[in-house]
Amino acid sequence: MSRAFTANNITALISGLLFGAGLTVSTMVDPARVLGFLDVLGDWDPALAFVMLGGIAVYMPLYWVLVRNKNKALLGDYFHLPTKRKIDKPLLFGASIFGIGWGLTGICPGPGITNLSSGNLGIIAFLLSMLIGMLLASKYKSKTVENANDT
């Protein structure tokens, strides 16, 4: 069987499509909607808060029943939870860049990918910038790991 048709890949595809559909139905793919949520001192739009609360309300009971005491995922892979708990400079820097970009554009990766089919040049520029940033961060991280291993 080809790797493209494994249960994990099919599950990932269905999950991604469901996530994209949820973003579209909730209008969270509209940058103006997200910017309205972030404008707490102006014409604030609470819709994103309701979407988040709805997601938490659905996931929380499922987490307590299906996930909390498990060490393996439903399809057999072990959970890969982060072991690092320290808030450090790279985390703060990355979170700041993400937050600034989200605040300026109203777009984050999920809605950006979902909006790709619109053909909007702004969305395409956003995704290209995101990919370049990911590549640069990956190169920087591998270089710092190499330097740490050399010492």
Measured distance CA(82)–CA(77) in Å, rounded: 15
Nearest to 20 by CA among 117, 151, 120: 117
Can you read off the two tokens belonging to residue 51?
Answer: 């979407």
Report yes or no on whether pTM surpasses 0.85.
no
CB 12 within 8 A of CB 84: no
pLDDT at 4: 58
- Per-residue confidence (pLDDT) for residue 46, from 0 to 100: 94
pLDDT of residue 61: 94
- Contact between 28 and 51 under an 8 Å Cβ cutoff? The reply is yes
- Per-block mean pLDDT, blocks of 10 residues, the chain (151 long): 70 90 90 91 93 93 84 73 85 90 89 87 91 90 75 62
Which residue(s) pair with 72 in the sheet? 78
Q: Residues 116-145: pLDDT tens digits? A: 888 889 899 999 999 998 999 888 888 877
Query: Coil, strand or helix: which one is 39?
Result: coil
